[in-house]
Chain A
Amino acid sequence: MALVQNGARAESAATRAKPPIRLFRNLMPKIASIPMIFTALVVFVGGTIWTIVYSFTSSGLLPRLDWAGLQQYERLWETRRWIVSIQNLAIYGICSLVLTLLLGFVLAALLDRKIRFEDAFRTIFLYPFALSFIVTGLIWQWILNPEFGIQGIVRGLGWESFNFDPLYNADIVMYGLLIAGLWQGTGLIMCIMLAGLRGIDEDIWKATRIDGIPTWKTYVFVIIPMMRPVFVTSVVLIASGIVKLYDLVVAMTAGGPGIASEVPAKYVMNNMFGGQNMGQGFAASTMMLLSVVIILVPWAYLEFGGRKRG
């Protein structure tokens, strides 16, 4: 009996010895995936964990692994520059989100009215998206130049006291950035919205017309609720773009006047590569990560929750 059991065990051990070979079955795809696995595990996961861990240290000129608890975070939230950065991003973010969605949808709705030259209009609305934030920022810096730009022109027309110098006025500098940001980004959202509108059944329009519902009401009460997934995708796209806001600020204002247009991404860069203040950079970038997680988790929850229930 015992012998038989032993024999069986030996046999199952032999079959169990096979699994290691599973790793080598179809070896080629695994070898070919090494860059992907490296990127996912080492760069993305490893890098993120590294930064989070070092945000709890007192790293200054160079990263040092000496535990300092929440010291960096306390310092971060006591720094005026960081508070201003957060406020700026909030102003820019809310305005950008609302206006991009609104403009994107309105433009898409206009283009969807069976108009002529639709292709031409779409090409025009979308081309800024091909340009970098640096190029965008530099163009608008020139157009908003108080001497030769919009302010200068209006003054030249005789309205001497006209004031519009967003890049030199700390109170409205974020709106100056917003003008450029909207110019660059609305085309993309318009395209996504347009695709969403094209996905709506022609019969819906016929039905609402038979019922005598005005066009604007159809849009607000029928079409927009139907386009919920498109709006969700757009919000995720816009929001993850807002958190990354950096190049545009560097090109247009370099954070000025003073610190009036600082943003979190720039705070991180300045502390990490300019100020030799590593710990602050790590703590601030961890806060950025946290904000992305706060945006993404409800979205993922909605997506997955919806799938499972449906």
Chain B
Amino acid sequence: MADPGILGSTLPAADAVRERLSGPHGPRPKRALSGTNIMLYGTLLIVAMYYLLPLYVMLVTSVKGMPEIRLGNVFSPPMEITFQPWVKAWAEACTGINCDGLSRGFWNSVRILIPSVILSIAIASVNGYALSMWKFRGSELFFTILILGAFIPYQVMLYPIVIMLREAGLYGSLTGLVLVHVVFGMPINTLLFRNYFAAIPSELFKAARVDGAGFWGIYFRIVMPMSLPIFVVALIIQVTGIWNDFLFGVTYISSPERYPMTVQLNNIVNSVQGVKEYNVNMAATLLTGLVPLVIYFASGRLFVRGIAAGAVKG
């Protein structure tokens, strides 16, 4: 019913961000210290404070001792820096009967992340390749359904997938969760690859065909080596998306021992038993946020491009 080309056009932002962030436009300010400029930078600085404050609060809380926290407030700088909360969050914090800290969740997340990312990028890139260069009857229809599927609330499909995984004997296992991530990462990444590959000149494709290259030959020898940037963008989308996932982890993992890091973090911090150790909680929160933060600060503009495209995934 819908032309996916038009649907694809909902994402001009992806390319637009890349192209247009290249240099400032807009009117030129007149003097360096005019009233407008002071207003401008003042506003920006205040807003920047609002955005940075939580990071600061997390950091200072995580290096204070509990007595100090009870005396002061969330913003007061630490008088005595201690790394005990970090050690405790990583190796000793309890969820249920397990008291080996967030490290368990961290390694679970890593074990979910690596196969999910590899598999989903492999499948999505081949999809995009087939959709842009090897169109067949119905391929556009499947693609349209796939993109519309990205807008369906996850809750609608959660239980049918439980049944499918149970039938396959994978419900509750890490493998099952990996497959779920592959499925739900597919729409946005397929779109990303399809749009990117569509820009590759068809002469290249034809020349390779004449020289006798087949489906996989063209993919591995021509398309893939030409498209490294888009693979990096997809990598960023998938790593942050899968690492930050909570819903699928809590739905498709049946035993607390195998929970991914976000789920375990929530269980540690929001546990009702025992005394609340705010410093340990904040250290744990920061630890969980560290992976996407590192990716964000390391990847710079590629991240902007990735999220502008990945935003559809919500």
Q: Which residues of A are in contact with B by a Cβ distance under 8 Å?
A: 22, 26, 28-30, 32-33, 35-37, 39-48, 50-51, 63, 107, 110-115, 118, 121-135, 138-143, 145, 148-150, 152-153, 156, 183, 187-188, 191-192, 194-200, 202, 205, 209, 215, 229-230, 233, 236-237, 240-241, 243-244, 246-247, 250-251, 254, 265, 268-269, 272-273, 278, 281-282, 284-286, 288-289, 292, 296, 300, 303-304, 307
Contacts and interface: CB of A to CB of B under 8 A. Distances in A.
A196 to B, nearest CB: 7
B58 interface: yes
B130 A133 contact: no
Contacts of B50: 183
Interface of B: 2-3, 6, 9-13, 16-17, 20-21, 24-29, 40-41, 43-44, 47-48, 50-55, 57-58, 61, 69-70, 72-75, 123, 126-127, 129-131, 134, 136-137, 139, 142-143, 145-146, 148-149, 151-161, 163-164, 182-183, 186, 190, 214-216, 240, 243-247, 251, 262, 265-266, 269-270, 278, 281-282, 285, 288-289, 292-293, 295-297, 300, 303-304, 307-308, 311-312, 314
Contacts of A265: 153, 155
B153 A36 contact: no
Given A130-B292, A135-B288, 19 more contacts: A43-B149, A51-B159, A110-B44, A114-B24, A115-B40, A121-B48, A127-B296, A130-B295, A131-B292, A134-B262, A138-B270, A142-B61, A156-B73, A183-B54, A197-B26, A230-B13, A233-B11, A272-B159, A284-B155
Most buried by A among B154, B159, B292: B159
Given A36-B123, A209-B27, A237 B312 contact: yes
Contacts of B29: 113-115
Contacts of B159: 50-51, 63, 272, 278, 281-282
Contacts of A48: 152, 156-157
Given A110-B44, A202-B25, A304-B2, A195 B157 contact: no
B247 to A, nearest CB: 6
A132 B244 contact: yes
B21 A195 contact: yes
Contact of B73 (A30, A35, A149): A149
24 contacts: A28-B214, A32-B126, A32-B130, A33-B126, A33-B139, A36-B130, A39-B149, A50-B159, A51-B160, A112-B25, A114-B24, A115-B29, A126-B304, A131-B289, A131-B292, A132-B246, A134-B244, A134-B266, A138-B265, A191-B13, A205-B26, A205-B27, A233-B10, A240-B312
Most buried by B among A47, A143, A149, A296: A47
Nearest to A182: B50
A5 B58 CA distance: 86
Nearest to B182: A35
Contacts of B131: 33
Contacts of A304: 2-3, 6
A161 B27 CA distance: 47
A43 B80 CA distance: 54
The secondary structure that dominates the B interface is helix
Given A113-B40, A131-B289, A286 B61 contact: no
B254 to A, nearest CB: 11
B24 to A, nearest CB: 5
Contact of B157 (A43, A128, A183, A247): A43
A261 B54 CA distance: 22
